[in-house]
């Protein structure tokens, strides 16, 4: 029995094999180049290479925050990993 909400299941499937035809593109991608390409289609005056750096930092910050949060949650339950 699946206990995940439908949106989470769909998201987990999408990030395993990102597809540029996905209407939510680039949300399923963790590649800064994909995000920069999509962003620069909307804002063509901004250099794509600049946005690759910006999105790489933003994606990594999100990863770092999730990692820190998992450590905090594990500490609250007395788990060490």
Rounded to whole angstroms, the Cα distance separating 62 from 23 reads 22
What pLDDT is stored for residue 71 in this prediction? 77
Residue with tokens 């540029």: 20
What pLDDT is stored for residue 2 in this prediction? 55
What pLDDT is stored for residue 68 in this prediction? 80
How confident is the model over 8-65, as pLDDT tens digits? 666 666 666 777 888 888 887 888 999 999 999 999 999 999 999 999 999 888 777 8
Q: What is the pTM of this model?
A: 0.60
Show me where the domains of the chain are located: 1-30, 32-81
| Ramachandran bin of 78, using left for φ above 0, alpha for ψ from -120 to 50, beta for the remaining angles | left
Angle, helix 48-76 to helix 32-42, in steps of 10 degrees = 130
The answer to whether the CB of 39 falls within 8 A of the CB of 46 is yes
């Amino acid at each position: 029995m699946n206990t995940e909400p439908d949106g989470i299941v769909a998201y987990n499937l999408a990030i395993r094999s990102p597809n540029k035809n996905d209407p939510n593109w680039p949300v399923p991608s963790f590649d800064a180049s994909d995000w920069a390409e999509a962003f620069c289609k909307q804002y063509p005056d901004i250099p794509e290479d600049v946005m690759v750096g910006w999105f790489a930092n933003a994606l990594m910050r999100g990863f770092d925050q999730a990692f820190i949060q998992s450590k905090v949650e594990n500490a609250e339950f007395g788990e060490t990993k």
